[in-house]
A and B are shown apart, each in its own frame.
Chain A
Amino acid sequence: MIKTVQERVKALLDSGEIAGFLGLKEAGGHIGPHLFTPEENGLDGLVLGDWKGPGDARYTLNKQLIHLARAYPDETFGVLVRGCDERGLKSLYVWNQLSPEKVVPVGIACPPELAKACECSKPYPDALVAGEKGEGCAQETLKQVEALGLADRFGYWQKEFDRCIKCYGCRDVCPMCFCKECSLEDPDLVNTGDVPPDNPTFHLTRAVHMAGRCIDCGLCNEVCPVGIPLRTLYKKVADIIDEEFGYRTGQAADEKSPLNILAGAS
């Protein structure tokens, strides 16, 4: 798999089609994001983000791509994507944060083990370069929570949210959080400057704001130091948007989110 990806990236860099490839590199015993450039001469250390298990060293590359694209809007960049990252790209095109003409996704498929852990709807990107297209998985965790009665369900979430240390990591890591002014810093909505955060206002403020935005990558869940199952919450929000508006975030690159239509974004 890595060989196929290497060949594709090398071809893209050699042809001059891309100014750099945003991928992952293993160096000094650690795996992290890295921009491979033609000047670098070679793809030493390029990895796909599998460390002790599949995909456990994934990073929020789309977020870094936005940083690069903002500074160098005329350059084209390649980027390593999994299914969720591609959903992210499509959605970021819709929200005018990235331009599809300036991005060359290099896609890898996730193995069934990872797809199951993520309960992922589509564990591979359309721009597939390496790996086998796997089946989407059912939303078992969400079903379990939904099976609880209202009082128990509310209790369950309150107990989870109670552990929050208000690190803002869920927001900071999220590839879909690109607002200039964050509602989690709005004193009308959130008790800014105080811990613990209001329960459940803080978390529901974010959940509502992720409606039509969250592409279900699960990186917030992974970054949460206290293990709050944020992903399950946002999966529910995504289901509501689907039921109400027939919209699945990141499925199509040309379909506006119902909420960006409501917000009057062009």
Chain B
Amino acid sequence: MDYKTVLTTCPYCGCGCNFYLEVLDGKILAPIPCKTSPTNEGKLCIKGWNAHEFIQSPNRLTGPLVRKNGELVAVSWDEALDYTVSRLKEIKDSHGGDSIAFFSSAKVTNEENYLLQKFARAGIGTNSVDHCARL
């Protein structure tokens, strides 16, 4: 029997609510909102209450996929990145930077978000930058 309660931070938005993940024999059962967290004081929103679900979901992406002949195919990171770079270049050259939008995340650091918007604005030439917490 291996029962753990692991204190962590909700991955959904930028608030940073804390909860314990109840883990029994390697399987996550549920979040338990942390009462001593100054951020959420033992409360969560519906996203936090279900934050554990994607972790063990069979539908979770665990590596890059590229659509080839209409089918999603697992590829290496190198191949995925090369493909992305070449397509971004093509689209920018033929339709301009404003035809591209970037989608960042509230789950990453400020610095990573800074880098992404810098790349979008200075590298590609678009102001269309948004993030997942606007879901």
Q: Decide yes or no whether A14 CB sits under 8 A from chain B.
A: no
Q: Which of B25, B29, B34, B46 contacts A167 (CB 8 A)?
A: B46
Q: Decide yes or no whether A67 CB sits under 8 A from chain B.
A: yes
For the side of the interface on A, what is the size category?
35 or more
Q: Decide yes or no whether A165 CB sits under 8 A from chain B.
A: yes
Q: Which of A33, A57, A64, A224 contacts B43 (CB 8 A)?
A: A224
A222 close to B42 (CB less than 8 A) = yes
Note all chain B residues with C-beta closer than 8 A to A58: 35
The stretch among B16-24, B55-63, B127-135 that forms the contact with chain A is: B16-24
The interface size of chain B toward A, counting residues with CB under 8 Å, comes to 24
A165 close to B20 (CB less than 8 A) = no
- B25 to chain A: closest CB distance in Å? 7
> CB-nearest residue of chain B relative to A171?
B49
- B15 to chain A: closest CB distance in Å? 11
> CB-nearest residue of chain A relative to B4?
A35
Note all chain B residues with C-beta closer than 8 A to A224: 43
Q: Which of B5, B36, B45 contacts A33 (CB 8 A)?
A: B5
Note all chain A residues with C-beta closer than 8 A to B35: 31-32, 51, 56-59, 222
B25-51 interface with A by 8 A CB criterion: 25, 29-30, 32-37, 42-46, 49
Would you list 13 pairs from A and B whose C-beta atoms are within 8 A, ordered by A residue? A27-B7, A28-B7, A29-B36, A30-B7, A35-B5, A59-B35, A68-B1, A75-B1, A167-B43, A167-B45, A167-B46, A222-B35, A225-B44
